[in-house]
A and B are shown apart, each in its own frame.
Chain A
């Protein structure tokens, strides 16, 4: 979404994935992980749940790749899967199964101090985001974290661009109130 014409094109990568090319799949995962995560987090409001849903969605996508009729629109199709799975996950939220992903990620951090600070900040943001409506959360994540345009967002969420801008404005204002001026001052200096 943030990149208008990525290279190699999605259609080429999808064609390779149809023949089981894991490298092509890897490129697609790297290209759209953040977008998928933003969509899932927007629906669920929880990072771990969002990561699980993103992984499920990618597996489902590669399993049913024949259903993607317009391979050039792979990302739209993938985001639809992510959103549906996130909604389903939210509806039927169950106890998370033990995953090998969590300890692996914990081990992957280079510095425990940076990791702790980042994690604390992420928790604060997650709590603030949880106070927003689903639409506000989705829009602010897609726009401010993944760089979607209002046009992309309006197509994805089936709202007008004006409505998308309004939601973003309100979402930012609410986040500022929830996060407090000190945290936001730190952000605005970046």
Chain B
């Protein structure tokens, strides 16, 4: 065999083949997989921004539901306690009562402030 024909034959480099023997190759692959596990996990869970983007719609829906429930609760509580009725009318009534009381013996000692505080300051 001449030099030229010999040089046309493939060189047997199988001793350098990293995929052989199979068991050693499996270990090499496992090593790469372990090294890349963190990056793959991050891809599965997503970046914080991507996570926020994924949860944006459900969060918005939950917020709207909470707002509706809060509004309904507030209305019902307001109805039971009559908070809506409290206003300037009560003050006006109290002042009227004071003017009525003013006709009695203690009229000089009773002020609108005392009527509003129920006389506890005494």
Interface residues, chain A, with chain B CB atoms under 8 Å away:
17-22, 25-26, 29-30, 33-34, 37, 41, 47, 51, 54-55, 58-59, 62-63, 65, 100-101, 104-105, 108-110, 114, 118, 121-122, 125-126, 140-141, 143-145, 169-173, 175-176, 184, 187-188, 190
A interface majority secondary structure: helix
A188–B7 contact, CB under 8 A? Answer: no
Contact B17 A145 (CB under 8 A): yes
- The verdict on B84 contacting chain A, using a C-beta distance below 8 Å, is no
- Measured between alpha carbons, how far is A132 from B120 in the docked complex, in Å? 106
CA distance A100 to B39 in the complex (A): 19
Task: Please name all residues of chain A whose beta carbon is closer than 8 Å to the beta carbon of B1 when the two chains form the complex.
Answer: 188
Q: Report the separation of the CA atoms of residues A47 and B15 in the bound assembly, to the nearest whole angstrom.
A: 11
State A101–B70 Cα separation when bound (angstroms). Answer: 60
Residue of B nearest to A47 (CB): B16
| Inter-chain contact B31/A104, CB cutoff 8 Å | yes
Q: Is the CB of A18 within 8 A of B13?
A: no
Task: Assess the A109–B24 pair: CB atoms within 8 A.
Answer: yes
Q: Can you report 29 A-B residue pairs in the complex whose CB atoms are below 8 A from each other?
A: A17-B43, A19-B43, A20-B43, A22-B36, A22-B40, A26-B29, A29-B32, A33-B19, A54-B18, A55-B31, A58-B36, A62-B36, A101-B31, A104-B30, A108-B24, A109-B23, A122-B15, A140-B13, A141-B13, A143-B10, A144-B10, A144-B11, A144-B12, A145-B16, A169-B8, A172-B7, A176-B6, A188-B1, A188-B9
